């Protein structure tokens, strides 16, 4: 059995018209479906326990959401702003952690289909080299090398190759998913900054009159660059960590497929939680900084 590492990009498994359906997209839809179903179940149970003490799932969800809100409140140190930020950062946390944990379920990455793909054929070349010759003037003639295909066929021929394509793959195996989350984080940060400070108050932190404050102009330019650099850091931090975990599990499962992967699955559960917490935590910090006045 040969070892085949996961590809750096997600794979297309179907099409809706000309729109490609990728395996990482399917996992993202499943994660959203799980959260939506749980939300409806919680809503129905909370209505049934409206005039009674919460218990069971309702009590568990309220404890979790209350603890998460208090955690973000410790960072923002302001109830009105925390109530504005919390729906976005809590949704990001829940979506990222659900997607990460669903990525280690049995069948993810191992259930798939075999597809035939055309790849460039490898054609061996026959080399013939002429020995240097001395001409009548005494100069050495240039060495001649002739390359020709052994079979005499064109080197542009294609051959078919069978490739395994998993139907399910973690949503963050595609950098497009992490880039989308980074765009949501950065754009909502700018939105709350402009909403709380006003348009001029927010962008005035980046564009400072150089004749009044030359250092402030330079610092504002660096801050403006850092605003857009968040897109890169958010995207590749989440993508790199989750993809590295996926590769690690594949390698360990190939070398020792029964007992050895179990500790690494536990590690991936912890890493999935940390990545979700870090993503939402940094978003909260950036929202707080964006909504603070310039002084």
Average pLDDT (233-257) is 77
Q: How many whole angstroms separate alpha carbon 132 and alpha carbon 216?
A: 70
Confidence of residue 187 (pLDDT cuts 50, 70, 90): very high
pTM of the entire structure? 0.75
What is the structure's pLDDT at 24?
Answer: 82
Which contacts (CB < 8 Å, 24+ apart) does range 256-260 have? Answer: none
Q: Per the structure block, which two tokens stand in for 173? A: 């195996």
Q: How many whole angstroms separate alpha carbon 3 and alpha carbon 167?
A: 19
- 164 vs 201, more confident: 201
- The model's pLDDT over 42-52, given as tens digits with 9 standing for 90+, comes to 888 888 877 77
Unique residue bearing structure tokens 């390359």: 147
Confidence of residue 6 (pLDDT cuts 50, 70, 90): low
Q: How many whole angstroms separate alpha carbon 178 and alpha carbon 234?
A: 7
- The model's pLDDT over 246-295, given as tens digits with 9 standing for 90+, comes to 777 777 777 777 777 778 778 888 888 888 899 999 999 999 988 887 65
pLDDT, the chain, mean: 78
Domain ranges of the chain: 12-114+169-291, 115-162
Would you tell me how many other CB atoms lie within 10 Å of the CB of residue 149? 14
- 219 vs 111, more confident: 219
């Amino acid at each position: 059995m040969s070892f085949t590492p996961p590809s750096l990009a997600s794979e297309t498994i179907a099409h809706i018209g000309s729109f490609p359906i990728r395996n990482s997209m399917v996992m993202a839809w499943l994660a959203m479906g799980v959260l939506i179903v749980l939300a409806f179940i919680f809503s129905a149970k909370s209505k049934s326990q409206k005039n009674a003490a919460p218990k069971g799932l309702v009590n568990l969800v309220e404890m979790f959401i209350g603890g998460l809100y208090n955690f973000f409140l410790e960072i923002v140190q302001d109830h009105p702003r925390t109530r504005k930020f919390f729906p976005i950062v809590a949704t990001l946390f829940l979506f990222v952690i659900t997607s990460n944990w669903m990525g280690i379920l049995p069948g993810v990455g191992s259930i798939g289909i075999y597809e035939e793909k055309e790849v460039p054929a490898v054609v061996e070349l026959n080399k013939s080299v002429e020995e240097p010759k001395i001409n009548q003037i005494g100069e050495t003639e240039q060495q001649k090398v002739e390359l020709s295909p052994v079979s005499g066929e064109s080197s542009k021929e294609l051959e078919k190759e069978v490739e395994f394509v998993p139907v399910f793959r973690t949503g963050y195996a595609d950098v497009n998913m992490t880039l989308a989350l980074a765009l949501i984080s950065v754009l909502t940060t700018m939105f709350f900054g402009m909403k709380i400070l006003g348009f001029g108050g927010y962008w005035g932190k980046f564009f400072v009159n150089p004749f009044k404050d030359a250092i402030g102009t330079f610092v504002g330019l660096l801050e403006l660059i850092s605003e857009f650099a968040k897109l890169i850091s958010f995207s590749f931090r989440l993508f790199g960590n989750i993809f590295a975990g996926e590769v690690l599990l594949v390698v360990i499962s190939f070398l020792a497929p029964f007992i050895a992967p179990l500790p690494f699955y536990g590690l991936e559960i912890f890493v999935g939680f940390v990545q979700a917490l870090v993503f939402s935590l940094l978003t909260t910090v950036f929202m707080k900084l964006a909504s603070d006045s310039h002084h």
